[in-house]
Amino acid sequence: MSVNFADDIRYCPYCRHELESRMVAGRLRPYCPACDRPFFADPKLAVAVIVWHGDRIVLQKRAIEPGLGLWSFPSGFVERGEPVEEAARREVLEETGLHIEVGQLVGLYSRQGQPVVLAVYEGRVVSGELRSSEESTAVEWFPLDALPPLAFPHDAEILRDWLRQRSLS
């Protein structure tokens, strides 16, 4: 039986007993017969930031999969208990060397069958010097009309949403 994105969860996180699939709350879910309880595989929250100044944004060339060798926004996972805006500042600093002020939320992005939900903010540079990190081979400012190949299909959608919000304000 298929349990969607939880298929890779095979053992109970509490007692380590092998899980089985059971119908719980109208869906097949991983279920521990030893603990007599379902396991709810919550989504993982990630954050990305469109760091901008004038008509330019910061992109990083990815040194890791997915998207190896392509360009994307500074991004990463939010730690449990960490405010999302703090994660946005941390990820931008770690990946670009820039301290930012987190601006408005651009949007939340998710896809059917994918466990990651991406929260995207805009950010403005407060201080720092642009530099790459262990997750990128390069970090650069790009004019909006001359962007390099982007790493993820949702990157173009995110940029459209952000540009639409900017034109409305």
Q: Which tens digits make up the pLDDT trace of 92-136?
A: 999 999 999 999 999 999 998 888 999 999 999 999 999 999 889
Q: Are 15 and 35 in contact (CB under 8 A)?
A: yes
Residue 141 sits in a domain whose CATH number is 3.90.79.10
Same domain, 22 and 95: no
Same domain, 73 and 99: yes
Domain that holds residue 22: 4-38
List, for residues 6-22, the tens digit of each pLDDT value: 557 889 989 999 999 99
Mean pLDDT, residues 52-63 taken together: 95
Same domain, 10 and 85: no
Cα gap 133→138, rounded to integer Å = 8
Query: What is the predicted pLDDT for the residue at 8?
Result: 72
Cα gap 57→42, rounded to integer Å = 32
Q: Is the pLDDT of residue 39 over 50?
A: yes
Same domain, 70 and 144: yes
Same domain, 17 and 50: no
Same domain, 72 and 123: yes
Same domain, 14 and 48: no
Same domain, 19 and 77: no
Same domain, 10 and 52: no
Same domain, 56 and 130: yes
Q: Is the pLDDT of residue 150 over 50?
A: yes
Task: Say what the pTM is.
Answer: 0.85
Mean pLDDT, residues 49-62 taken together: 96
For the four alpha carbons of 91, 92, 98 and 104, in that order, the dihedral sign comes to: negative
Same domain, 11 and 93: no
pLDDT confidence bin for 1, thresholds 50/70/90? very low
Same domain, 82 and 143: yes
The residue whose two tokens read 């500074």 is 74
Say how many domains are in the chain: 2
Residue 163 token pair: 């540009």
Question: What is the H or E stretch that residue 163 is in?
Answer: helix 153-168
Q: What percent of the chain clears pLDDT 70, i.e. is strictly above it? A: 95
